[in-house]
Structure 1
Amino acid sequence: MKERGQQVDQNSESFTFLGKGTDFKGVVSFGGTIRIDGRVEGEIHTTGTLIVGEHAMIQGIVSVGVLMNSGKIHGTITAVEKIQILKPGVLVGDIRTPVIAIEEGSRFHGMCDMGAHLGSGERALSLDMAPGLVATAQ
């Protein structure tokens, strides 16, 4: 099993890279942005951005600010800001995020909870507030 990482300063923000051919098991915690093109099994935690490359495979728990996925993820994902699943990305598992974008050609299988933002002053939509939706749905 190989383990490696590179730190690169980009606009004074930390940028970490786990390249193709890298296998990592354990807990990854970092600040800033990380790009993964290898395999990770375990947990990934950051308040920054996680970029999952086309050849990457992640299995486990992911907790990030922003997720941009073009690879394969199987697990439980929480993104405070948003999740983007980009072609040819595959995400299997439960996700929690206020914003999700799924590009045509990518795949998602699991449960999605977008209620994380409802406590911030936004009103939840009830069926009483949208009678046209009820009529359409019946």
Structure 2
Amino acid sequence: MAVFSKEEGSEVASETIVGPSVRVEGNFSGEGNIVVQGEIQGNLTTKNDIRIEEGAKVDADVEANNLNVSGEINGNVKCHGKMDLTGSARVNGDVETDVISIETGAVLNGQCKCGGAGESISTEEKAEKDEEADE
């Protein structure tokens, strides 16, 4: 199985693997793909993809291009592409993503903004747009 794939059948190597016996405290950032099997506390950021494996625990705000979660996140998430929550995933925090996939059994406790990560519209702005459309 590919770690991350941009196309079906292609494999993209991980730049950083946080092993199951590793615990990182502080801000963790990079430009490449990250696989988390252990624990991270602080912030976790990359311009590429993150996979949080089953049994891994991330007590941090997370930002990535694509995110695959089988473990646990306690913090807010900003995903610029697709976020996949497998059946063993637990996310306790608010999520902003373009696309989300949630398998049966996954837990998401928080608000979810989907379709335009980081772009939100207030109730007042929505009412103004609705009024303009009615004119």
Indicate the TM-score class for this superposition, using the shorter chain for normalisation.
0.7 to 0.9
Amino acid at match of 1:49: D
TM-score by length of 1: 0.73
The runs of at least 4 aligned residues of structure 1 exceeding 4 Å deviation read 11-14
TM-score by length of 2: 0.75
Please, which runs of 5 or more residues in structure 1 have no aligned partner? 1-10, 129-138
Count of aligned pairs: 113
Equivalent-residue separation in structure 2 for 1:60 and 1:37 (angstroms): 15
Amino acid at match of 2:83: I
**2:18 alignment counterpart:** 18
Q: CA deviation at 1:107?
A: 1.0
CA contact (8 A) 1:48 1:64 kept: yes
Amino acid at match of 1:110: G
Amino acid at match of 2:111: M
What is the SS of the residue equivalent to 2:116? Answer: helix
**2:122 alignment counterpart:** none
**2:32 alignment counterpart:** 32
Of the two, which has the highest radius of gyration?
A: 1
Please, which runs of 5 or more residues in structure 2 have no aligned partner? 1-10, 120-125
What is the SS of the residue equivalent to 1:21? Answer: coil
Report the identity percentage: 27
What is the SS of the residue equivalent to 1:97? Answer: strand
Equivalent-residue separation in structure 1 for 2:16 and 2:71 (angstroms): 17
CA contact (8 A) 1:30 1:45 kept: yes
**2:45 alignment counterpart:** 45
Question: Structure 1 residues 12, 110: CA separation in 2 closer, same or farther (over 3 Å shift)?
Answer: closer
Alignment of 1:1-138 (within 5 A): 15-116=15-116
CA contact (8 A) 1:69 1:89 kept: yes
Q: CA deviation at 1:14?
A: 5.2
Q: CA deviation at 1:112?
A: 0.5
